[in-house]
Amino acid sequence: MLLCDVGNTSYHFLDGVEDYKREANSFDPSSVKEKVYYICVNPHAKIILQELENWIDLSWHVDMKNYYETMGIDRIVACGTLENGIIIDAGSAVTVDIVKDGVFEGGFIYAGLRAMQQTYKNISPALDYSFNFELDLDKMPKNSQDAISYGYLKTLYCEVMSHQMDIVLTGGDAKEFAKIFPHAKIDERVIFEGMKKIMKKANVC
Amino acid sequence: MLLCDVGNTSYHFLDGVEDYKREANSFDPSSVKEKVYYICVNPHAKIILQELENWIDLSWHVDMKNYYETMGIDRIVACGTLENGIIIDAGSAVTVDIVKDGVFEGGFIYAGLRAMQQTYKNISPALDYSFNFELDLDKMPKNSQDAISYGYLKTLYCEVMSHQMDIVLTGGDAKEFAKIFPHAKIDERVIFEGMKKIMKKANVC
């Protein structure tokens, strides 16, 4: 039995204790013959997966009542693992969700690292820098690389810290973002914990 | 005599009391026969303008010592108009600069409105919304449009307000951003004030 979190960029599998990723663009899910319990936010993959008998969509077992209709199932499942705190999922997008006393309080969507670097580059070739995650967040920048890094990172930092809650970092860029949120707990498998919790509650598997 | 601020998107002219814009992509600056005092951040236009005798580059008269080498001349000129405060120039990029006691303290670069909307759309078609500038910034969002609006606007708001300084808003999207910074002073001609100040100091014209 496998667990799989299907995103816009990759299929993220958990095989017992090992986790691994496959590129969403090139991976053929019908090549997997085992039973796979999955959640999926990728509209293209969704259509393919519902035709495959051994791929079982866990979203049917998720209690959506505290969430909103268009909210990504990955955010919902991750929030279900938290009693109190902020969960930052740093992937193609950076989602920031707040849970208080086990209830989803709302959340926002920030652009992901690569998308944002591309955005600055598109605005002007003079802004084609990689972000400096070692940047001093207490000092207004005086060079171009820090000026865009601060624009992307300090604004997010400022909003997140204003909630004064424990932070869980997950997603492909969790380790990068941990540099600006050094007190956050990194948990790259939080989504699988959420999926297991749902399966247990629904007596699936 | 004309003043002109040449950006990546447009030529912004001041003709005595009237100001008007021409699209950078299609405008031919050699069609202007009057004397034009200008500043320019557009690399393509820069090459053309330096060949035109009646276009006079004011950047030669700017005292750069308090600024950094790759900083846009428009930001430098705008900062020169301020004694104390934050100046937000909301154009293709949103630049945020701080001046204390007449001295530039540093600044950062945020993505402009249109660039950012495109970024969210590129991340996922599910995020293809226009921003809601009427959003309640004190409440964590529970729908997709507000989730991206909050991600773009509240994070910026949070950082800017943390400096507790007067805010001047300028640039093509100044009126939109005024909705989230209601106490800011809108001054769409701040750049021309800065240019006049430089001309006066340098005895140009």
ipTM of the complex: 0.92
Interface probe for A, chosen from B87, B97, B124, B156 (most Cβ of A below 10 Å), is B124
Phi, psi of B122 (to 5 degrees): -65, -35
Say if B17 falls within a structural domain. yes
In this structure, the answer to whether residues B34 and B118 fall within a common structural domain is no
Model confidence pLDDT, tens digit, residues A128-178: 999 999 999 999 999 999 999 999 999 999 999 999 999 999 999 999 999
Give me chain A's average pLDDT, please: 95
Say if A197 falls within a structural domain. no
CB A166 within 8 A of CB A85: yes
Measured between beta carbons, which residues in chain B are less than 8 angstroms from residue A70? 126, 143-144
Name the band, by pLDDT with cuts 50, 70 and 90, for residue A62: very high
Residue B116 belongs to domain with CATH number: 3.30.420.40
What is the per-residue pLDDT for A125? 87
What is the per-residue pLDDT for B75? 95
In this structure, the answer to whether residues B105 and B145 fall within a common structural domain is yes
What is the per-residue pLDDT for A8? 85
CB A86 within 8 A of CB A163: yes
Say if A70 falls within a structural domain. no
Per-position DSSP letters for B101-154, written without gaps between them = TTEEEEEEEEE-HHHHHHHHHHH-GGG-----TT--TTS---SHHHHHHHHHHH
Beta-carbon separation of B155 and A151 below 8 A: no
Say if B103 falls within a structural domain. yes
Strands A185-186 and A167-170: parallel
Q: What is the span of the domain harbouring residue A18?
A: 2-61
In this structure, the answer to whether residues A134 and A86 fall within a common structural domain is yes
Say if B76 falls within a structural domain. no
Say if A195 falls within a structural domain. no
In this structure, the answer to whether residues B171 and B87 fall within a common structural domain is yes
Name the band, by pLDDT with cuts 50, 70 and 90, for residue A32: very high
In this structure, the answer to whether residues B188 and B147 fall within a common structural domain is yes
Say if B198 falls within a structural domain. no
Beta-carbon separation of B107 and A147 below 8 A: yes
Measured between beta carbons, which residues in chain A are less than 8 angstroms from residue B142? 67-68, 106
In this structure, the answer to whether residues B88 and B177 fall within a common structural domain is yes
Of B72, B119, B124, the CB nearest to A116: B119
Angle (CA) A3-A9-A11 rounded to 5° is: 20
Mean pLDDT in residue range A176-195:
96
Quote the number of domains for chain B.
2
In this structure, the answer to whether residues B38 and B121 fall within a common structural domain is no
In this structure, the answer to whether residues B86 and B184 fall within a common structural domain is yes
In this structure, the answer to whether residues B89 and B187 fall within a common structural domain is yes
pLDDT of A5 above 90: yes
Say if A35 falls within a structural domain. yes
Name the band, by pLDDT with cuts 50, 70 and 90, for residue B169: very high
Indicate the angle between helix axes A113-123 and B113-123, nearest 10 degrees.
140
Beta-carbon separation of A106 and B151 below 8 A: no
Which of residues A10, A26, A61 is at a domain's end?
A61
CB B145 within 8 A of CB B129: yes
In this structure, the answer to whether residues A52 and A86 fall within a common structural domain is no
What's the pTM? 0.92
